Chains A and B, each alone.
Chain A
Amino acid sequence: MVSPRAVAAEVLVVGGGMAGTIAALAAREAGARVVLVRRAPGATALSSGAVGVAPDPFALPGEPLRAARGPLEAARRLARLRPDHPYAVLGDRLEALPDALAFATRALAPLLAPPLERPRFLATSFGTAVPAALCQRSQAAGDLLAVGGALVVAGLAGHLGLDAALVAASLERYRARGGPPTFAVEVDAGLGELGLLRPHELARRLEQPGAAEALGAAIRAALPAGAGAVLVAPVLGLRPEAQVPERVAGAAGIAVAELLADVPSMPGVRLQAALEAALAAAGVEVVQGAIQGATGPGAPIAAGATEITAARWVLATGRFVGGGIARRGTLREPALGLPVQAAEGREAGVDLAARPAASLTGAARVGPQPLLSAGLRVDARLRPLDARGRPAAEGLHAAGAVVGGHEHASDGTGLGVAILTGYLAGRAAARPGGGE
């Protein structure tokens, strides 16, 4: 057996998704020596790649899109309605949201578009529009409020993955709320037989020299009069540095944007790649491996062939997809064995989480689903709490989807919570004592 390589750091971040990466970058910026351990990509790589911060819970169904509040005000409103939501638990620290979003935009500058005062309304592959506080540059031109003219949904001839006519027809209903007129066209970019290609194969094909340009030229040829922007399937490349969106738009001579993706999401994969590039650029050491059965900060912990010692930890291990919360009959937190809490309506508790996981779902689609919001309970400083409500370990913070109280994959706050809590936890962990 090889003896493990020993590494000492001030801050250990467990988890390499949005929350862990932002925590590591924030701690690094505050001057700490940071090591990040990660097992694999998590929910961040499965996301649409656009950041949902908060859907406004008081917005009326027919309200003009233009009336939408900015992310901070929408998050404040959400916090008032949902006392278990991390936005509510953070109390005054919620006010750091604009700083946190600006920090993430800076850290991911080549990939993310600069934020606006209001959310952008971006179309999904099913023809619905969702508000996003931050999005990738390749998605920004699809903002329903920014299109000057008609919005053209361009399907690829022979590709079965996107029904452009259906998307365009569904988007028409946003016209009454200030959205653009929408049309569908079909373009043949001469990329060969596409029918069975999976999104990543299409994305790779478009990275080839000339392919993105051919798609752009085909779009240009198919444009109806009065077109203001074009929406295409979310397959514009796998590697951010291949610059597929820019190449397509350049050849098309019009703004081109990707639809929001379902899984497998190529924009999600690009987001994960950009996070990893940002870690490397900031000088954060990344260790590939998993942490299990740890006692907590201070004690050395093995990850793969490395043994890491750090006085302060940020646990950013995600939820069910990332592996931060495991469902083995009942709910468990595998890395440190912290108690998992589940909320039903207004009452959060460990007792609920000890119930068989299968009993934590309700039949009503719009009712609360305790299973989906289960996670760690934290205090306003993002310290995980034990069963009696006291901080579970000295020097321990948590961030992202491992923190409970929000249905991270479906309530439109997933990546927003990851950015805000990652930013706050990273900065707190960078300071001895975790103080302000």
Chain B
Amino acid sequence: MATRAGALSYLAWRALVAHPLRRLFRRRGTGLERFRAAYVAEGLGPTTPEDRAVGEAASACVACGLCELGCELAGAVPAVRALGLHAAFRLYSRSAAGLPLAAAALEACAGCAGCDALCPTGVPIARIVRHLRAKALAGRDPPVREG
């Protein structure tokens, strides 16, 4: 009950105080700028052409697991080990908001490009992993390893 009351008063506070105040003092700007200000922090920024290209390339994956045979990342990260290397990009590339969950896995990529030549369907795995990693780590400390 307490949590319900808490949630309702939080909503009331947002609706009656925070939101009107924000509207009153909001930064002017184009719709895109305001969209970015509101959503990028939550990982829901606009889809760039590069994002779309990467998403399309990743969709050619048939989850066969052959790429793992040449991949250091696949052996390093328990979640990837259980689900397969493709999980690192297939599961998370669909949802920008979920991407931070994959950051640790993506960070383990050694940039060795052992994967690409093993993929039957021609998924540019190393490029996808590099792109998603840059996205997942944006705003955090820059990655140590070179992609």
**Cα(A30)–Cα(B14), bound, Å:** 81
Taken residue by residue from 68 to 99, chain B's Cβ proximity to chain A (1 for < 8 Å, 0 otherwise) reads as 11000011001001101000000000000000
Q: Tell yes or no: B9 within 8 A of A by CB.
A: no
Complex contact B120–A321 (CB within 8 A): yes
In chain A, positions 216-256 with a C-beta closer than 8 Å to chain B are: 238
Interface of A is mostly: loop
Complex contact B122–A40 (CB within 8 A): yes
**Cα(A201)–Cα(B78), bound, Å:** 13
Residues in chain A near residue B69, CB distance under 8 A: 200, 238, 264, 269
Among A43, A198, A201, chain B packs the most CB atoms within 10 A around the CB of A198
A-B contacts at CB below 8 angstroms, number: 53
Taken residue by residue from 114 to 128, chain B's Cβ proximity to chain A (1 for < 8 Å, 0 otherwise) reads as 000111111000000
Residues in chain A near residue B62, CB distance under 8 A: 321
Complex contact B120–A46 (CB within 8 A): yes
Residues in chain B near residue A198, CB distance under 8 A: 65, 68, 74, 81, 84
Residues in chain B near residue A43, CB distance under 8 A: 120
Q: Tell yes or no: A288 within 8 A of B by CB.
A: yes
Complex contact B68–A323 (CB within 8 A): no
CB distance from B57 to the nearest CB of A (A): 13
Q: Tell yes or no: A39 within 8 A of B by CB.
A: yes
Taken residue by residue from 190 to 202, chain A's Cβ proximity to chain B (1 for < 8 Å, 0 otherwise) reads as 0000001111110
**Cα(A238)–Cα(B63), bound, Å:** 19
Residues in chain A near residue B118, CB distance under 8 A: 40-41
In chain B, positions 110-142 with a C-beta closer than 8 Å to chain A are: 117-122
Complex contact B82–A264 (CB within 8 A): no
In chain B, positions 45-74 with a C-beta closer than 8 Å to chain A are: 62-66, 68-69, 74
CB distance from B44 to the nearest CB of A (A): 29
Complex contact A323–B66 (CB within 8 A): no
Given contacts A198-B74, A198-B81, contact A42 B120 (CB under 8 A): yes
CB distance from B117 to the nearest CB of A (A): 6
Complex contact B84–A46 (CB within 8 A): no
**Cα(A55)–Cα(B65), bound, Å:** 28
Residues in chain A near residue B74, CB distance under 8 A: 198
Given contacts A40-B120, A288-B117, contact A264 B65 (CB under 8 A): yes
Residues in chain A near residue B68, CB distance under 8 A: 198, 200, 264
Q: Chain A contact residues (Cβ within 8 angstroms of B): what range?
A: 20 to 34
Residues in chain A near residue B66, CB distance under 8 A: 41, 45-46, 264, 269
CB distance from B80 to the nearest CB of A (A): 9
**Cα(A238)–Cα(B69), bound, Å:** 9
Residues in chain A near residue B117, CB distance under 8 A: 40, 288
CB distance from B52 to the nearest CB of A (A): 15
Complex contact A39–B65 (CB within 8 A): no
Q: Tell yes or no: A380 within 8 A of B by CB.
A: no
User: Which chain B residue shows the least CB distance to A263?
Assistant: B64
Residues in chain B near residue A290, CB distance under 8 A: 122
Residues in chain B near residue A200, CB distance under 8 A: 65, 68-69
Residues in chain B near residue A395, CB distance under 8 A: none
Residues in chain B near residue A39, CB distance under 8 A: 122
Complex contact B82–A196 (CB within 8 A): yes
Residues in chain A near residue B75, CB distance under 8 A: 201
Residues in chain A near residue B120, CB distance under 8 A: 40-43, 45-46, 321-323
**Cα(A264)–Cα(B65), bound, Å:** 5
User: Which chain B residue shows the least CB distance to A327?
Assistant: B60
**Cα(A284)–Cα(B62), bound, Å:** 30
CB distance from A416 to the nearest CB of B (A): 20
CB distance from A238 to the nearest CB of B (A): 7
Complex contact A263–B65 (CB within 8 A): yes
Complex contact B121–A264 (CB within 8 A): no
**Cα(A322)–Cα(B117), bound, Å:** 13
**Cα(A200)–Cα(B118), bound, Å:** 14
**Cα(A373)–Cα(B77), bound, Å:** 39
| Cβ-neighbour of B122 out of A46, A199, A201, A323 (below 8 A) | A323
| Cβ-neighbour of B81 out of A196, A264, A322, A323 (below 8 A) | A196
**Cα(A45)–Cα(B78), bound, Å:** 25
Given contacts A45-B66, A198-B74, contact A323 B84 (CB under 8 A): no
Residues in chain B near residue A238, CB distance under 8 A: 69
CB distance from B5 to the nearest CB of A (A): 44
User: Which chain B residue shows the least CB distance to A266?
Assistant: B69
Residues in chain A near residue B81, CB distance under 8 A: 196-198, 201
15 contacts between A and B (CB under 8 A): A39-B122, A41-B118, A41-B120, A45-B120, A196-B78, A198-B68, A198-B74, A199-B65, A200-B65, A201-B75, A263-B64, A264-B65, A264-B66, A264-B68, A288-B117
Which 6 A-B pairs give the minimum distances between C-beta atoms? Answer: A264-B65, A263-B64, A321-B120, A42-B120, A200-B69, A196-B82
Residues of B within 8 A of A (CB): 62-66, 68-69, 74-75, 78, 81-82, 84, 117-122
Q: 19 more A-B contacts (CB under 8 A) besides A238-B69, A263-B63?
A: A40-B118, A40-B120, A41-B118, A41-B120, A42-B120, A43-B120, A46-B64, A46-B120, A196-B81, A198-B81, A200-B65, A201-B75, A263-B64, A264-B64, A264-B68, A290-B122, A321-B64, A322-B120, A323-B120
